Amino acid sequence: MSFLASRIAAASVRALGSTLAVGCWIQQEKDRRVQCETISQPPASSLEHTMQTIAGNQTYETPNGKKTDNYLYDHGDSFPNLTRHGPNSLLKKYLTPDVYEELKDKQTASGVKLEDLIQGGIALPWGARPPRGIAGVYAGDAESYTTFSVLLSPLIEAHHKALHRARLRRHRTNLDVQGLSQRRLDGAYILYTRMRLARSLDGFKFAPCIGRSERRAVERLLRDCSRDWPQGSYVPLMEMSNNQHEDLVKRQLLFADPDEFAISTGMGRDWPDGRGIYCDSWNDLPHIMMWVNAQDHLWIISNAKGGDVQGVFTRLSMAVRSLEKSLNDRGHSFVEDPNLGFLNASPVDIGTALRASLYVKLVRLGQKPGFDDLVRRLRLEARPLKFQSQTYTGMFDIANLEALGKTEVDLINLMIDGVGTLIDLEKRLESGEEIDIEVIAQKKGNRN
């Protein structure tokens, strides 16, 4: 089987599996309801009580101002059923009937509608745990951030905690390596350094809504720009062999095929057509990579073994500046908002759209109660790294939590200082010292 056929088949099987699973659930529900109706027909009062229980015993206001307890019947035929979303669901919190009514008939100049934004959040309330991005909401183009700001603004604030600050001052970009902290991290605890910038190109819809011809145009443009770089090459997914594809994915140099969530948002449409990767070296760990049309139009990635944060950031800065010049020479630019910074499909990846991470060994600290809270109070996020069947490795992907309201240098310095603190605590535990992580986390939170 060819690479293209195998990739399409894999994606189709996943999509079919999701469809069959949902279909089986629906049929089971139908059978259960028929059986219940055969046994006894509940009185109206009992049905009303059940509906109130599902809706959380809340009173809602319909678009015409009518007060009601009936969530499913009085929100309109097109309002999404969010009763399966948990109490902490941001989509359920901010996509109210009033907001839906205000936005449901709006669309951007390129035709993006509210339903395009929320599809990922409502399609898989069971399978996405939690929905990725912010509540599974993705922008269909740059204009979505203004047209649908009534929904997107509170979601952005809920994640970044910086929307008010961003509105008060213009976004600032700082790619000057001279501004980085000079703190040296103990390389014995660091496996990799990896930094990524997400970028979208002006004049094109974003991944959830982009069409086949537009996506191919983005790929042609970026492939052409990559020829301006002195070394390396670009390879479309369509031209890869199965062995080459599997090797790159295994080495974490290439994005995986879309899963059910990516397919539901539209980001996996036409896979793998219009997607590809640039590497400055194919033999070892590349210093610079470019992922095209994986999620956003472009991800620029810089890698290195060990903890050479300064070196990785230097190469990343040079690469993105060079690419921006190549785009400008061809009449294009990155999508950028004066206050929100660089715009992409996910509201997570706005502002700097930077993810700067270190793979850190924290075997003892990572098992301590309060570890996750400590990391969060350091304004970082920690993703456990697992290999094969291991449930706990003691390795964590530690990265900046914020992206909006600060510069790239600010965020990397936070990451350096935070990881330095975590390594120091790990060393104290190795020496046999008893430390209370929860107390330390509280102190860090008060300081920040």
Binding residues: 192-196, 355-359, 383-388
**pLDDT tens readout for residues 91-105:** 889 999 999 999 999
Q: Name the pLDDT band for 21 (thresholds 50, 70, 90).
A: very low
Q: Is the dihedral of CA 237, 238, 240, 241 positive or negative?
A: positive
Mean pLDDT within 358-363: 97
Residue with the two structure tokens 């390795």: 395
Q: How much is the pLDDT for 159?
A: 85
**H or E element at residue 266:** none
Q: How much is the pLDDT for 336?
A: 96
Binding residues for ATP: 192-196, 355-359, 383-388
Mean pLDDT within 380-398: 86
**pLDDT tens readout for residues 121-155:** 888 655 445 555 678 899 999 999 999 999 999 99
Tokens of 208: 């959830």
Q: How much is the pLDDT for 132?
A: 59
**pLDDT tens readout for residues 25-41:** 444 444 444 343 333 33
Q: How far is CA 19 from CA 25, 28, 138, in A?
A: 10, 14, 22
Please give the domain boundaries of the chain with CATH numbers for all domains.
Answer: 80-169 (1.10.135.10)
When the pLDDT of each residue in the chain is averaged and rounded to a whole number, the result is 83
Q: Name the pLDDT band for 250 (thresholds 50, 70, 90).
A: confident
Q: How much is the pLDDT for 26?
A: 41
- Summarize the chain as % helix, strand, coil (round to 5): 45, 15, 40
CA dist., res. 236 & res. 242, Å (int): 13
> CB of 296 within 8 A of CB of 206?
yes
CA dist., res. 385 & res. 371, Å (int): 15
Tell me the percentage of the chain whose pLDDT exceeds 90.
60
Closest CA to 303 of 290, 283, 282, 289: 289
Phi/psi for 45 (5° steps) reads -65, -40
Tokens of 70: 């009936």
Q: Name the pLDDT band for 57 (thresholds 50, 70, 90).
A: very low
Closest CA to 350 of 138, 177, 207: 138
CA dist., res. 20 & res. 27, Å (int): 10
